[in-house]
Structure 1
Amino acid sequence: MHTPRVNIGKGAPAVYKTMAALDSEVRQHAASAGLEAALMELVKIRVSQINGCAFCLQLHTREAVAIGEDPTRLAVLPAWEETNWFSARERAALRLAEAVTLVADGQVPDEVYGQVAEVLTEAEIAAVAWVTIVINAYNRIAITSRYPVGPTS
């Protein structure tokens, strides 16, 4: 068990409210750009896997299953490149999300961006990038605050 920490959202409620408003705006933009809810959840889950955010993994996996996502696809998501489970569009979104999340490991390489741009529109690229940015922020909020995760959370 980890030592409890300050919940930074509760410690700065106005800031957290602004974060929630940004999240809402990004979700609306992503939907208007044509990103399906299931694709947004895949991106959120993959980013949360990379960041090791148990709280967001639990939350977004539940949400994905609730909207009809196949649990087998979720099980193989960490190795998505090795499977035939994901469409070209999903693969492009996952590739971009990983590059944005791992930006410290070499920016968003031109090769990755080029591959993504062959499949996604400019609006979709912007939407995937924003969904990724927001879930990265939420991961950091949950990890810093050590949100509880378990069968009762």
Structure 2
Amino acid sequence: MEKRIAIDQLEPQSFEAVRALEKYLAQSQLTPIHKELIKIRASQLNGCAFCLDMHTKDALKYGEAPQRIFLLDAWRETDLFTEEERAILQVTEEVTLISKQGLTTATYETALKALGENYLAQVIVAIATINVWNRLAVSTHKPVPHIPTVL
């Protein structure tokens, strides 16, 4: 993969601005697992290897079951996710893929009922934030740290 600019080094204030959103989310009501599900699912949709590597590891640290991470891309085909998580994942997909149809009224109403206004607002901010990180990492080919593999 070709080497590209390192925005975090060239324009560190830009990264600080996004980190301010992360600080807000750290004090929000969102559970660590919900935040990681959002980050992983958006990163899957955006093809962000750097963020997938980071957030699957973080999810495991927070106690997420490996099976749920493995099946996250097919969440509709399993009963492993709660009603709230299913609403979060649907919102994540529609906001991440906003150019397709945006956040539909049906999804919005389902999420509002399942999550409430404040939690839904925090979910949307979390989705927007990971999408910023994904776009920074993908457009600059941010490399995934290599870990020695054991065969």
TM-score range, shorter chain: over 0.9
Aligned counterparts of 1:97 and 1:3: Cα–Cα separation in 2: 30
Give me the CA root mean square deviation. Answer: 1.3
Deviations 1:63-109 (A, max 9, x none): 00011100000000001011000000111111111111011001111
Q: CA deviation at 1:118?
A: 2.0
Which aligned pairs between 1:110-125 and structure 2 lie closer than 5 A?
110-125=105-120
Counterpart CA distance in 1 for 2:78 and 2:122 is 24
Q: Please give the per-residue CA displacement for 1:32-61, whole angstroms capped at 9, x wherever unaligned.
A: xxx210111011100000000000000000
Q: What is the TM-score when the length of structure 1 is the normalising length? A: 0.92
The corresponding residue for 2:12 is 13
- Report the AA paired with residue 106 of structure 1: Q
Paired residue secondary structure (1:105) = coil
Q: What's the offset of the Cα at 1:150? A: 4.7
> How many residue pairs end up in the alignment?
148
Gaps of 5+ in 1: none
Distance in 1 between residues matched to 2:145 and 2:31, nearest whole Å: 28
- What TM-score do you get using the length of structure 2 for normalisation? 0.93
Q: Deviations over 1:99-144 (max 9, x none)?
A: 1101100111111111212211101100100000000000011111
1:118 partner SS: helix
2:27 alignment partner, SS class: helix
Which consecutive residues of structure 2, in runs of 5 or more, have no partner in the other structure?
none
* Structure 2 partner of 1:79: 74
Once superposed, which parts of structure 1, at least 4 consecutive aligned residues long, lie more than 2 Å away?
A: 150-153
Identical columns (%): 36
